[in-house]
Structure 1
Amino acid sequence: MDFDHLSKDQRILQMMRKTLTNVIRDVTPPPGHVSPITEGTSKDIRDCLALISARERELAEELGQGSDLRPRFTDEPKQAEVIPLHKSGLTKKS
């Protein structure tokens, strides 16, 4: 993961998110087994991840990076192309 272009706060938040999700993966039991994490702890983890996401969005906006930070393919179009589903000038007659 390339952290060079991120601020210190952004790097901290990414590492916190990564650590929390790794802990969740590590302790998630196989199907049919009881989870070692209580419902309260599970809710707290979800709340922490939501706060991390909110702060990451705020920091990205403050730095002018936009809110869409998801990975993209190199050949992915930058803008959506709208394709009409009907021909203009034609109306449906009932």
Structure 2
Amino acid sequence: MSDGNQKEREILMVMRKVLANIIKDTTPEFKTMKHPLSGSTIEDIKLCLGLIAARERELADIAGEAQSRPYYSDEKTKAEVVPISSIGGLKKKGSSDKE
């Protein structure tokens, strides 16, 4: 990846984090409270985040990197590790290891 693309990725990452922090800091504690930002400003922030995400995907495609997706910590993984000792047929029931 070129140095210019790396710098652009860093800028996009910082911009995304700053916008996310602005959202966290300005979001009212309760849904019944009025939001301090206007509706058009909120929509503009959403558009900016969408453009940042699109450009980050383009840069990842240019670099040939796999798409990374967020996941929940309690989400079941697609692959499951199975201990070898639990695989059937390797050890017969009732047999001893002293043979």
TM range (shorter): 0.5 to 0.7
Query: Which residue is equivalent to 2:20?
Result: 21
Displacement of 1:70 in angstroms is 4.2
Structure 2, unmatched stretches of 5+, are: 80-99
TM-score norm. by structure 2 comes to 0.63
Q: RCO (CA 8 Å, sep 6+): is it higher in 1 or 2?
A: 2
What does 1:1-94 correspond to in 2, within 5 Å?
7-31=6-30, 32-68=32-68, 70=70, 80=78
CA-CA distance at 1:66 after TM superposition: 2.1
* Structure 2 Cα separation of the partners of residues 70 and 61 of structure 1: 17
What SS does structure 1 have at the residue aligned with 2:9?
helix
Q: Could you tell me the percent identity over the aligned residues?
A: 39
Aligned-residue CA RMSD in angstroms?
2.4
Moved more, 28-37 or 48-57: 28-37
Larger radius of gyration: 2
Cα-to-partner distance string for 1:36-89 (whole Å, 9 max, x where unaligned): 111100000000000000000000000011222547x9xx97xx45xxxxxxxx
Unaligned runs of 5+ in 1: 1-5, 82-94
Code of the residue aligned with 2:68 in structure 1: it is D
